[in-house]
Structure 1
Amino acid sequence: MTTAPAQRVRRGGRTATNPAGRAGYLFASGYVVLLLAFGVLPTCYAVWLALSNSRGQLVGLGNFTRTFADFRFGSAFVHIGVYLLIWLAVLMVLVVLLALLLHGRMRRSSATLRFLFYLPGALAGVASVLLWLILLDPAASPVGWLLEAFGWHTLAQVIAPGHLPVLFTVIAFWTGAGGWIVIMYGALNNIPHEVLEAARIDGASPLQIALRIQIPMLTKWIAYMLILAFAAGTQLFVEPQLVSTASWGMIPDSWSPNQLSYQYAFQAGDFNGAAALSVDLLVLGLGCAALVVFRAGLFDRD
């Protein structure tokens, strides 16, 4: 008797593995090897560095308390916290809104718009930030007249410290939101057409359909987006580093925790302190991810 393709089958008293099952293990093994080599092992090494000193002796939480006492620690995490609040709120609202519009009123031109939304993501992070530095310089920007209308006549005025969380949010949305819009659009396509049609027959408006059917059915996708966007946001480095260089030191080179970790590792040669900061970010990310997973029921069966 033949079972599922990925299971074992009986042949002449022997048990043989189905080729489809072997192919599945083969494809998964490549990911597992890369995950171990570039994910699990580096994380374990970072934890070991964070709990030891330069001589390889265990010091417990010594590196954590030492970096916590650094005067730059609090401001770096406050900066990244403000940025994350703005970035995640903007991402969640605008991505879902644009995906709903593409799936509804703008459906005829959705293919072209999805391509245009996704296109900025093809730029590398450094190239994207350099492009934005030109756009934000009133003397060189093609929209310099708009910046001057806000009273900003120099690049230094535009990239003032108080503006950075919003500026980094704009850059991050421009480069990263397109992929999420495409994902949300695909998730909307998985909602049974019969459900939407029944709601329309019952007299539901597009707004009611979006609020009561589509968005609730996107909850797990939104939770997935928040987890990955939060993890990426805590790793902010390229944007503040280049802005700090362009501002000639007006912006501190430890604006974000990742920058502070870089200072520990490559300016002070303190890899143990840098590892402690990276573990702080890891614990913060895992804690917030666990909260989102359990609140949204990400792994609950439908």
Structure 2
Amino acid sequence: MTSWRVRWPGRAGHAFVAAYVVLLIAFGVIPTAYAVYFAFTDAGNRFVGLANFTAAASDFRFVAAVEHVALYLVFWLAALVVFVVGLALLLHRVTARPVSRSLRFLYYIPGALAGAASVMVWLFMLDPAVSPASFLLRAFGFDTFGQVVAPGHLPVLFTLIAFWTGAGGWIVVMYGALNNISPDLIEAARIDGAGAWQTARRIQIPLLRKWIVYMVILAFAGGTQLFVEPQLLTLASVGVAGRDYSLNQLSYDFAFQHNNVNTAAAVSVELLVVGLVAAGVFVARSGFFDAD
């Protein structure tokens, strides 16, 4: 028994991750390799180089979809970094445990809704005819659902939906990271006369840097995959967003409306490359893997 443990000291850890690795290979690695294969071949499985990427980029909808996703990412990442970190810092200052636990639970509740379900809730909330917040919508001058979901409002609306669904979990993560900061360090700052803002800016936020970078990497990757929100909004508003508002929608349209799987795969591979490059830049510039 002892010799078995010596030969395989990490067997418990390997057992824990084995199921995940199997699923990662089955639903992550293999589909990705399959998409890469399609992206560089045509319908007859002949290698065509970058022809599919050129076809996607030359489509009249491509540049507009890139602009829509880029604008959404600006709003989404800015809101996530500012409000998640800010709310986590405020939550960390709540000393009453019952209140702190209740707030963490409330923050996390929206995350229990799947993407499509959360969008449906927001479609209900954004319709002045049925929304319980209709008085607030009308106060901003919105009397109809069409006015609320006007094309110029979509990046902000999609950001609100994404933040409401995904920010709660990150607030809890940041709160846990704040709890790992040594109380002696915080107390020393207070003795030196640092207020709450100075403590947050000079001690807590710098020590949260790696967690913030981790959040931004995952949020960026998820944000480039924008699909459910504009797709459901298009169905609910008779095409206000369009079925090609985002790159993921454009890829879906290539595959299932035009039966052009190869160009759809090219768009998907482009999104993958953008996500990997952005993650590499964030990691390299932030020193994410540097030892503390």
TM-score by length of 2: 0.96
Instruction: Give how far 1:21 is off.
Output: 2.5
Mapping 1:57-206, distance limit 5 Å: 57-105=46-94, 108=97, 109-206=99-196
Alignment check: 8 A CA contact 1:52 1:59 kept: yes
Aligned partner of 2:226: which letter? L
The whole-number CA distance in structure 1 between the counterparts of 2:37 and 2:96 is 52
SS of the equivalent of 2:41 reads coil
C-alpha contact 1:137 1:144 (8 A) present in aligned 2: yes
- Of 282, 285, 301 in structure 1, the residue corresponding to residue 291 of structure 2 is 301
Describe the superposition over 1:206-244 as per-residue Cα deviations: whole angstroms up to 9, x where unpaired: 111100000000000000000000111111111100111
Shift, 1:151, TM fit: 1.2
Alpha-carbon distance, 1:110 to partner: 1.3
Q: Which residue of 1 aligns with 2:202?
A: 212
Residue in 1 aligned with 2:235?
245
Give the corresponding residue for 1:55.
Answer: 44
Distance 1:71 1:52 in 2: 22
Give the letter aligned to residue 289 of structure 1: A
SS in 2 for 1:280: helix
Higher RCO, 1 vs 2 (CA within 8 Å, ≥6 residues apart):
2
With over 3 angstroms needed to count, the CA separation of the structure-2 counterparts of 1:187 and 1:266, relative to structure 1, is same
Q: 2:5 aligns with which of 17, 20, 40?
A: 17
Contact 1:101 1:107 in 2 (8 A): no
Aligned partner of 1:222 among 201, 206, 212: 212
1:36 aligned partner: 25
Gap runs ≥5 in structure 1: 1-8
Separation in 1, partners of 2:32, 2:110: 31
Q: Which moved more, 1:126-135 or 1:214-223?
A: 126-135
Q: CA deviation at 1:246?
A: 1.1
**Is the contact made by 1:223 and 1:296 (CA closer than 8 Å) also made in structure 2?**
yes
- Match in the other structure for 2:278: 288
- Residue 106 of structure 1 and its aligned partner are, at CA, apart by 6.0
Give the whole-Å Cα distance in 1 for the aligned partners of 2:179 and 2:83: 18
Q: Secondary structure of the equivalent of 1:54?
A: coil
Corresponding position of 1:6:
none
Task: Say yes or no: does 1:256 pair with 2:229.
Answer: no
CA offset at residue 105 of structure 1? Answer: 4.1
- Who wins on radius of gyration, i.e. which is larger? 1
* Aligned-residue offset at 1:26: 1.6
2:260 to 252, 267, 270: 270
Residues 53 and 59, structure 1, Cα contact 8 Å, conserved in 2: yes
CA-CA distance at 1:65 after TM superposition? 0.2
C-alpha distance in structure 2 between counterparts of 1:107 and 1:211, whole Å: 24
Q: Secondary structure at the match of 1:71?
A: coil
Percent identity of paired positions between Structure 1 and Structure 2: 60
Cα separation, 1, equivalents of 2:92 and 2:16: 33
**Does 245-254 or 266-275 show the bigger shift?**
245-254
| Counterpart contact for 1:67–1:276, Cα < 8 Å | yes
Aligned residues: 290
Change (3 A) 1:190 1:133: same
CA RMSD of aligned residues (A): 1.4
Alpha-carbon separation, structure 1, partners of 2:20 and 2:104: 29
Whole-angstrom distance in 2 between the partners of 1:110 and 1:20:
40
* Equivalent AA in structure 1 for residue 5 of structure 2: T
Cα distance change on mapping 1:252 and 1:208 into 2, 3 Å = same
Q: 1:253 to 1:290 in 2, by over 3 A?
A: same
Aligned-pair distance for 1:149?
1.3
